Structure 1
């Protein structure tokens, strides 16, 4: 074979090899699964980084929201709570404007106000808890306040209600323990305070546990809840001057009532509250 023919043959062989390589790469690329919309694609900007605070001021209302750093560990809950609280504050502002406009103006009267403060309760391996305190003023002698609580299953990413935490049936043991805790706190504040009961023969009576929001109580065993902290607003068990009550019921008083899925999240004794 002459030199020109050898060069032509070599060039054709190289071209064939390169074509084969390119074809293999194209086939590999076609065989590889196309990227799918995974969990990252489903996360909205609010889910990824919900703000830690909100504030708005108008001539009619001043509102604000604060959240704890601890909520950053639960981004799904963070986004949900932020959105719900901001919606409530905006509705309050709109209502304030409507009220004062319909009244024909009230020059010299300060703006209405509403504050939502979300603070942490205790946390266990499975559960995360938060307290929501709403304080609002729309005129009158003093502001009004109320409590709500969030108990969150970290793995299932959903809220846990009392019906999920306790077995269905009689919760009277928890009611009795809560009533005892309320009376102990009343006596601590005022040794002459009248004892109240569940039946309510007096002016005030103890609430049923199922009607009171609660969060986890920090326990003496790491990673476990020592009990539940019940959040009782003003006027519920005493006069407004007594203020709100946060009373702790130890887990030993209701352990037998817990569903098996969450029973292991409780152990030891509750630590004293600050």
Structure 2
């Protein structure tokens, strides 16, 4: 409670409008300027150190967005008052995707508007050891995460074909395989830096992880109208490549099925000159 009181004091010093914070959400509102909310999964109460660190990070982000809205509104009043002003908003939900085997995997999804033609979406998942707040990158999970290594190649093929299948399902008659390969899918590669953020997928008994869920924001691999994509990859794709200190985290079959398998027609087409 001492930490929470300190956070509330910090928030009151940095936000010029009424704001509230507790262990389940942060709310900040200034009529006509901004409306901000962050919601925390109640399950985070079991991980007090991580929860406290997340709360501090989110409080800082709330303050930054509020100050941006105030500054931009002031510039609008000075430069273009004849144009309409739409208040900024942000709604974030932080959810526990998997917790166990010494790790915690969180999803963080934000819908926000800071000017422009439409709101946007941001996806910022977090994987960390449950005893400390130290974000883990994808490369740390594998014994050899080098570009074009067997691990990265296996992930690349699995993500590529599954994403193509998801796009075909979502777009229906508008799905153009050649166009997708030449445009949106061209940025994918067997490189840890080419993958988006991810969460761990629980196995069917919930006692271990059994896959990776890669989260693509709008515009990353498709138009804004397509929305975001959640692309699952089962443990069978990467089990042989896990680093020793991550092997015990994964076991079994994921709680959801995938649409494709190795050798699917939607796998990337690799020219002979690049092999």
TM-score over 0.5 for the pair: yes
Is the contact made by 1:196 and 1:206 (CA closer than 8 Å) also made in structure 2? Answer: no
| Partner in structure 2 of residue 102 of structure 1 | 75
Deviation at residue 197 of structure 1 after TM alignment? 9.7
Cα distance per residue 1:9-56 (max 9 Å; x no partner): xxxxxxxxxxxxxxxxxxxxxxxxxxxxxxxxxx95249996211111
Segments of structure 1 that go 5 or more residues without pairing to the other structure are 1-42
2:17 aligned partner? none
**Which of 90, 112, 117 is equivalent to 1:141?**
117
Question: Aligned partners of 1:73, 1:48: CA distance in 2, in Å?
Answer: 20
Alignment-derived partner of residue 176 in structure 2: 194
Match of 2:234 in 1: 250
* Match of residue 234 from structure 1: 218
5 Å-filtered alignment, 1:86-165, equals 86-104=59-77, 106=81, 109-155=85-131, 158-165=134-141
For residues 5 and 250 of structure 2, the distance between their equivalents in structure 1, rounded to whole angstroms, comes to 30
Residues 143-178 of structure 1: per-residue CA shift (max 9 Å, x gap): 011111111212455332223212232212111111
User: Match of 1:17?
Assistant: none
- Encode CA deviations 1:71-99: one digit per residue, 9 max, x unaligned: 11111110111111111111011011111
Runs of 4+ aligned residues of structure 1 deviating over 4 Å after TM superposition are 47-50, 105-108
Cα RMSD, aligned residues only? 2.7
Q: Where does 1:67-86 land on structure 2 (aligned, <5 Å)? A: 67-86=40-59
**Higher RCO (C-alpha under 8 Å, 6+ residues apart):** 2
Query: Is the 2:33–2:69 Cα contact (8 Å) retained in structure 1?
Result: yes
Q: Which residue of 2 aligns with 1:26?
A: none
Flag the structure with larger Rg.
1
Distance in 2, Cα, partners of 1:85 & 1:207: 30
Which of 13, 22, 29 is the aligned partner of 1:57? 29
Contact 2:50 2:132 in 1 (8 A): no
- TM normalised by structure 1 equals 0.75
Flag the 1:251–1:196 CA change in 2: closer, same or farther, 3 A.
farther
